[in-house]
Amino acid sequence: MPRPATARSSTLTAWAFLAPALLLLGLSVLIPALLALLMSFSRSGLDVSEPLQFVGLANFRRLLVDPMLQRVAVTTFVYLIGVVPPIVLGSLGLAVLVNRSLPGIHWFRGAFYTPVLVSLVVAAIAFRWLYAENGLINGWLSALLGSRFEPIGFLTSPLLALPSVMVVTLWKGLGYYMVIFLAGLQGIAPELYEAAALDGSEGWRCHRDITLPLLRPYITLVAVISAIGATKVFEEVYLMTQGGPADATRTIVYYVYDQAFSELEISYACTVGLALFLAVLLLSLVRYLFAGDRGLT
């Protein structure tokens, strides 16, 4: 049975509105992604006039035995472990804290969300100044501990550099994910808490029995999104440590950047980027495996 003319007209109108965005997406994302996939099986540099030399799986074999890639993968995993649990727990705690009908509570919500509005470049430069040996933190510690205090090298110590960069990610992300949890909390009927109180479930036990089970899709969503963000971290590392000291903060994305624009290994950088894409894709699938039909729509 042919579709009515009005339905066809509506479909054409919808595609007409989508066409500019689809064209921009294709030119800026899809076509470069396909070219990167093609270059993963070839050897090339920055000179695009040179023909591609297909090398088959040589780049992938190199990827499997690259000791630096293994090191940056471990660093990225440590970064993920150090960022995701604090973000999930911290943003959930903030959401519970501000999910109250108190005078001026909107100001507190706005204050917690303010770091999200700050440019990451500005935040990284500000924290780099705070962490400097003559910066604010060391200045305060020196004033408290006296002349025998030795300045702490937050960004120059291999042990402290990565946690110091993690703090910037946490500071920027807590308010953003707090809003997601706050939306979930405000979708829970107050009657459920009242019924739980009648059964003797109060305080933290009430959150354990009511809040956490009903927020499971939100917890999964926040965990997956923050894990993807931590896996792709680049700006903080580039602006604060340049991958140092002694490669202690060199992550996978920074390694891709370094291979492409410092070593001019464009094909190998595309191969590492493809491996990272597959890892991020697996993280994205976790959202559907654990949330199931109870997931957010």
Average pLDDT (27-48) is: 80
Could you tell me if residue 238 is inside a domain?
yes
Average pLDDT over the chain, rounded to an integer: 86
Q: pLDDT for 203-236, tens place per residue?
A: 677 777 788 888 988 998 899 899 999 999 999 9
Phi, psi at residue 48, to the nearest 5°?
A: -75, -10
Local confidence band at 100 (pLDDT 50, 70, 90 cut-offs): confident
Could you tell me if residue 14 is inside a domain?
no
> CA-to-CA distance for 289 and 287, rounded, in angstroms?
6
Could you tell me if residue 99 is inside a domain?
yes
Could you tell me if residue 201 is inside a domain?
yes
Q: pLDDT for 133-161, tens place per residue?
A: 888 899 898 888 877 888 899 999 999 99
Cα distance from N-terminal residue to C-terminal residue, the chain: 32
Phi, psi at residue 151, to the nearest 5°?
A: -55, 140
Could you tell me if residue 40 is inside a domain?
no
Residue 269 half-sphere exposure, CB side, CA atoms within 13 Å?
A: 19
Could you tell me if residue 23 is inside a domain?
no
**pLDDT score, position 47:** 60
Could you tell me if residue 132 is inside a domain?
yes
Range of the domain at 76: 58-294
What's the structural domain count of the chain?
A: 1
Could you tell me if residue 36 is inside a domain?
no
**pLDDT score, position 263:** 84
CATH classification at residue 196? 1.10.3720.10
Q: pLDDT for 273-292, tens place per residue?
A: 999 988 888 878 876 776 55
**290 or 269: which carries more pLDDT confidence?**
269
Q: Is the pLDDT confidence value at 297 over 60?
A: no
